[in-house]
């Protein structure tokens, strides 16, 4: 299913209608909030994966198609079984990563042991919670969800 509007292309694999609606709405809100001029150039595929946390230890993750110099097409995997609050926070968190990658703030330097984030270099061995891009994503996720919920209530 492909849903179009003035912002970005959003596609889904699986997920209930309510989950898809909430994820799409939050993703569009987040894209327009974090990168308003760029949002219309993006596409995001959401995949609901059974037991993602149990198998890989994550509620979600963000990937992209590596053929692009600066990616515009993203894949976000989400654990299909997490509760609504964790789902929304995970979507907001991963959309921060979409922003970081699409705006070329974050880049994994292939064939090197480094990431580049805001022109600084970090070893790939850095602890997850010390990665500045994760600090930003964790720091923004709850506030983005609260802003989205407040906007939804206004309607």
Q: What are phi and psi of 119, to 5 degrees?
A: 70, 10
Write down the pTM of the prediction. Answer: 0.90
- Which residue did the predictor score with more confidence, 134 or 4? 134
Quick one: 98 exposed, middle or buried, by C-beta within 10 A (0-12, 13-18, 19+)?
buried
Q: Is the pLDDT of residue 66 over 80?
A: no
Above pLDDT 70, what percent of the chain? 92
Q: What six digits make up the tokens of 124?
A: 């790939």
Asked if the structure places residue 14 within a domain, the reply is: yes
Could you tell me if 24 and 3 are in contact, meaning their C-beta atoms sit under 8 angstroms apart?
yes
Provide the CATH number for the domain around residue 76.
3.40.390
Query: Which pLDDT tens digit goes with each residue over 5-32?
Result: 455 677 677 767 888 899 999 999 999 9
Tell me what pLDDT residue 11 has.
67
Asked if the structure places residue 109 within a domain, the reply is: yes
Q: Kindly indicate the confidence band of residue 143, based on its pLDDT and cuts at 50, 70 and 90.
A: very high
Tell me what pLDDT residue 4 has.
39
**Cα separation of 2 and 9, whole Å?**
7
Number of domains in the chain: 1
Element (H, E) at 93: helix 84-102
Least confident of 5-14, 85-94, 139-148: 5-14
Tell me what pLDDT residue 44 has.
92
**Cα separation of 153 and 76, whole Å?**
26
Helix, strand or coil, per DSSP, at residue 16? coil
Above pLDDT 90, what percent of the chain? 70
DSSP-based helix, strand, coil % in the chain, nearest 5? 45, 25, 30
**Cα separation of 33 and 39, whole Å?**
9
Could you tell me if 95 and 75 are in contact, meaning their C-beta atoms sit under 8 angstroms apart?
no
Element (H, E) at 28: helix 17-34
Asked if the structure places residue 154 within a domain, the reply is: no
Domain that holds residue 55: 2-148
Query: Which pLDDT tens digit goes with each residue over 105-134?
Result: 999 998 899 999 999 999 999 999 999 999
Asked if the structure places residue 62 within a domain, the reply is: yes
Least confident of 13-17, 83-87, 99-103, 120-124: 13-17
Asked if the structure places residue 86 within a domain, the reply is: yes
Asked if the structure places residue 155 within a domain, the reply is: no
Asked if the structure places residue 75 within a domain, the reply is: yes
Asked if the structure places residue 136 within a domain, the reply is: yes
């Amino acid at each position: 299913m492909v849903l179009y509007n003035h912002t970005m292309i959003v596609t889904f694999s699986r997920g209930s209608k309510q989950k898809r609606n909430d994820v799409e709405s939050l993703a569009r809100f987040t894209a327009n909030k974090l990168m308003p001029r760029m949002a219309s150039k993006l596409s995001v595929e959401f995949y609901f994966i059974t037991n993602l946390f149990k198998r890989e230890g994550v509620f979600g993750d963000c990937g992209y198609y590596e053929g692009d110099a600066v990616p515009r097409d993203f894949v976000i995997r989400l654990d299909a079984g997490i509760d609504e609050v964790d789902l929304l926070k995970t979507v907001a968190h991963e959309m921060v990563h979409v922003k970081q990658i699409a705006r070329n703030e974050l880049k994994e330097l292939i064939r090197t042991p480094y990431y580049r984030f805001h022109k600084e270099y970090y070893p790939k061995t850095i602890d997850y919670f010390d990665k500045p891009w994760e600090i930003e994503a964790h720091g923004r996720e709850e506030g983005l969800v609260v802003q989205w919920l407040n906007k939804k209530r206004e309607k």
